[in-house]
Amino acid sequence: MQLQDILYSQGFGTRRVCAGLIQQGLVQVYASVQAPATVCTESNAEFVADGLRFRVQGVDWPYQEKAYLMLNKPLATECSQKPSTYPSIYTLLPSPLRLRPQKGAVQGVQAVGRLDQDTTGLLLLTDDGKFIHRMSSPRHHVPKVYEVTVKHPISDAQVAKLLSGVVLDDDPKPVRAAACEALGEHHLRLTLTEGKYHQVKRMVAAVSNRVEALHRSQIGGLRLPDDLAPGQWCWLSPDDLLRIAA
């Protein structure tokens, strides 16, 4: 695969822009894990894309046929390309991730589901449409774990109701938590396998309490790392992807 096509596939601009970066000596390629990066000025130089590492304008990048990321979503951000009030989460990502070419009008990685502007924590992003569909499908019931701070002290009766099922105003069928435990007087850990609109807030309201803070800590078997600070992102490994489905 030509180097300019590799850069294009990774979101570094049009093929002409990518060729210009290469010809200006702004792209270095790692021939092996141990070898240092060397400048390549031939835009049509051929490389095996899979496993390739390169450096563009001083920043190292691994080739990724499809991008899979996790972001620790901070407070007061919106999961929208066109936010209405707060900054978009996409401004936290480097431009190549936002510009990765895709079929159709959409470019770059997209959030897998959404978190409200006042919800923090684990958010997945990808440019793999099949992955987004699979994760979003209610048939797959991927569990999501939330750390919930509530206004009023939590009672055993409230926990029992969340486990047995509560009725939301738009659905007569009871909605149940897959798991629920009180971690403190005002702290609840809630596991859901559905993704209804404002579901945690509405379920807590249905048991006569109120969500004061909400943080998603886990999706499937994938936990948000303690060392990934709010606003930071990282690549997902193949093992991470397996944990999501675990």
Task: Please give the positions annotated as active site.
Answer: 116
Closest among 49, 54, 20 to 37, alpha carbons compared: 54
Instruction: Give CA 190 to chain center in angstroms.
Output: 20
Are 23 and 2 contacting, i.e. CB atoms less than 8 angstroms apart?
A: no
Task: Return the residue matching tokens 């919800």.
Answer: 119
Q: Please compute, for residue 223, the number of CA atoms within 13 A of its CA located in the half-sphere on the CB side.
A: 4
Taken as a whole, the chain contains a residue count of: 246
Q: Beta strands 211-219 and 119-126: pairing type?
A: parallel
Q: What is the largest CA-CA distance in the chain?
A: 69
Are 53 and 10 contacting, i.e. CB atoms less than 8 angstroms apart?
A: no
Are 158 and 202 contacting, i.e. CB atoms less than 8 angstroms apart?
A: no
Distance CA 13, CA 143 (A): 37
